[in-house]
């Protein structure tokens, strides 16, 4: 946790801490271009909060998801694991459009709720994950995902910053969308689908081959990836390269 906030980690931000917080945020955002603002806010989360790392994932629809930013490789692998499995705190937060705070993935209700994801997270050295939806007009367009390498709940003090930070990231992303240059191809939200173009193409091939709907075809691809210990993106590349066929 950043030494700029020496008070009890469990206490809410006081007036003086809020002033310090404003200065840290201002420093994080100083000199950043608009498109870099969400990443700067995420870095501030890692610097200020009692967490090990963070990431932001964007959702284009119920299945398409892309990683916008991650603080470290572990955060990125957590995001990819949840996309591959179609399960985990991030997926639950998107579906519920509400925060999902998993304080202990090693045992208890959190480990039972997402057993496969929890096992993979623990293997990565992750013990707690806190997913906060990036919501606009009641619709979750992504999530801010914080992780910690030890179990324990997100303190009231940390929640009092993390939730407003998620709102600020949402506002920044929507502002980017609204001020995109005229005629520019695609947007940040479109990236949630284009980033996984290989997955969409492989899913389409499985649909045609097995006469399945998109959800069923993606489920088959995810099952294949899980069975081989791959990410869904890696499995899709094998399908597109002809190394894997689903009509055998």
pLDDT band per the 50, 70, 90 thresholds, residue 161: confident
- Tell me which of 28 and 136 has the higher pLDDT: 136
pLDDT digits over 96-125, tens only?
889 999 999 999 999 999 999 999 999 999
Position 74 scores a pLDDT of 93
pLDDT band per the 50, 70, 90 thresholds, residue 3: very low
Position 86 scores a pLDDT of 85
Mean pLDDT of the chain: 78
Interhelix angle 214-227/197-210, rounded to 10 degrees, is 110
Position 9 scores a pLDDT of 47
pTM over 0.85: no
Element (H, E) at 227: helix 214-227
pLDDT band per the 50, 70, 90 thresholds, residue 6: very low
Is the confidence at residue 5, as pLDDT, over 80? no
C-alpha dihedral (123, 124, 126, 131), degrees to nearest 10: -110
Ordered by where they begin, the domains of the chain are 15-178 (3.30.450.40), 196-240 (1.10.10)
pLDDT band per the 50, 70, 90 thresholds, residue 144: very high
pLDDT band per the 50, 70, 90 thresholds, residue 214: confident
Q: Is residue 99 a contact partner of residue 66, using CB atoms and an 8 Å limit? A: no
Q: Are strands 100-102 and 65-70 parallel, antiparallel or unpaired?
A: unpaired
* Closest alpha carbon to 232 in 240, 243, 241, 223: 223
Q: Is residue 189 a contact partner of residue 195, using CB atoms and an 8 Å limit? A: no
Position 224 scores a pLDDT of 83
Beta strands in 105-150 (DSSP E): 128-136, 139-148
- Tell me which of 89 and 16 has the higher pLDDT: 89
Share of the chain above pLDDT 90, in %: 26
* Closest alpha carbon to 188 in 198, 196, 199, 180: 180
Identify which of 193-197, 203-207, 232-236 has the greatest average pLDDT.
Answer: 203-207
pLDDT band per the 50, 70, 90 thresholds, residue 185: very low
């Amino acid at each position: 946790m950043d030494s700029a906030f020496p008070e009890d980690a469990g206490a809410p931000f006081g007036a003086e801490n809020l002033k310090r917080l404003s200065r840290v945020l201002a420093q994080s955002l100083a000199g950043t271009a608009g498109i870099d603002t969400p990443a700067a806010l995420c870095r501030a989360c890692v610097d200020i909060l009692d967490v090990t790392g963070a990431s932001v994932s964007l959702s284009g629809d119920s299945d398409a998801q892309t990683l916008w930013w991650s603080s470290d490789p572990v955060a990125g692998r957590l995001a990819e694991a949840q996309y591959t499995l179609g399960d985990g705190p991030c997926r639950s937060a998107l579906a519920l459009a509400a925060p999902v705070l998993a304080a202990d993935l090693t045992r208890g209700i959190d480990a039972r709720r997402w057993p496969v994801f929890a096992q993979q997270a623990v293997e990565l050295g992750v013990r707690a994950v806190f997913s906060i939806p990036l919501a606009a007009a009641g619709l979750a367009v992504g999530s801010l995902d914080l992780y910690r390498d030890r179990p324990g709940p997100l303190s009231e003090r940390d929640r009092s910053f993390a939730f407003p930070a998620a709102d600020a990231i949402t506002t920044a992303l929507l502002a980017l969308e609204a001020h995109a240059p005229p005629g520019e191809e695609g947007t940040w939200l479109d990236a949630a689908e284009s980033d996984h173009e290989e997955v969409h193409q492989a899913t389409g091939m499985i649909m045609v081959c097995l006469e399945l709907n998109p959800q069923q075809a993606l489920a088959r691809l995810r099952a294949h990836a899980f069975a081989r210990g791959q990410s869904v993106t890696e499995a899709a590349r094998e399908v597109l390269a002809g190394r894997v066929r689903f009509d055998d």
